[in-house]
Amino acid sequence: MTKTITVDDLKSLLNVIAEAMTRERDRLCELDGVIGDADHGIAMELGFSAAAKAVAALDSATSDPTLIFNTAAKAFLNAVGASSGPLYATALMRAGAAAKGKSFLTEDDMVDVFVALARGFQDRGKAEIGEKTMVDAWAPAAAACRAAREKGMSLEACLSEALAAAEAGTEATKDMVATKGRSSRLGERAIGHIDPGAASATVVVSCFKALFLS
């Protein structure tokens, strides 16, 4: 059966992500401690908690998906001082733009929203695949999701493909030298370590998938 994604589903999605970030906070901080400044888990927890709280305060009866994503973006940006703040805020705004004019999302719309979200990180941070950033998880996840949809797969199956691609992309950051962000200062010393932003992106993708399990 095809799914319809409502404003309340999107509120739940943000809640599920916020809870996952609380669970993953210490692991993400540890990853960032190795090649950055050890705050990534805190940033992601603060950002998504603020986003989930802000959208919970909206009246579902008078809200649409665009308002949910834009409100989440603003709350995330205000809560987070680290570089993940503007990256997630831009991505969430792009998701909002992709949902424009719709009162709920179809499975096709959700694929468009997911792809727009993923693209937002690249537009904001100007990183390409292979630069050891969250883009190494988001870009392949979006591509896999789109390709799966074009093959006629269900939203859940598309998000499973996206998650597998995000996991593989995150693992691949281990062998990379960073050329963007704080860890670019480390040069070759970053080799052997997973990028924290790619790891947290994979957590976000896993929450999308979890929400749309039939």
Query: Any contact of residue 39 with ligand ADP (CB under 6 A)?
Result: yes
Which of Mg ion, ligand ADP, none binds 20 (CB below 5-8 Å, type-dependent)? none
* Nearest distance in Å: CB 120, ligand ADP: 10
* Secondary structure class of 193 (helix, strand, coil): coil
Query: Any contact of residue 17 with ligand ADP (CB under 6 A)?
Result: no
**DSSP code for 101:** T
The DSSP secondary structure of 2-69, one letter per residue, reads --EE-HHHHHHHHHHHHHHHHHHHHHHHHHHHHHS-S-HHHHHHHHHHHHHHHHHTS-GGG--HHHHH
What torsion do the CA atoms of 193, 47, 93, 5 make, to the nearest 10 degrees?
100
C-beta of 7 vs 201, nearer to Mg ion:
201
Query: Any contact of residue 87 with ligand ADP (CB under 6 A)?
Result: yes
Separation of alpha carbons 197 and 101, rounded Å: 31
Query: Any contact of residue 180 with ligand ADP (CB under 6 A)?
Result: yes
Stretch that binds ligand ADP, among 8-16, 32-40, 57-65, 88-96 (CB under 6 A): 32-40
Radius of gyration of the chain (CA): 16
Query: Any contact of residue 181 with ligand ADP (CB under 6 A)?
Result: yes
Out of 84, 160, 170, 202, the only residue in the binding site for ligand ADP (CB under 6 A) is 84
Question: Site size for ligand ADP, by CB under 6 A?
Answer: 24
Binding-site ranges for ligand ADP (CB under 6 A): 32, 36-37, 39-40, 43, 82-84, 87, 121, 125-127, 133-135, 180-182, 195-198
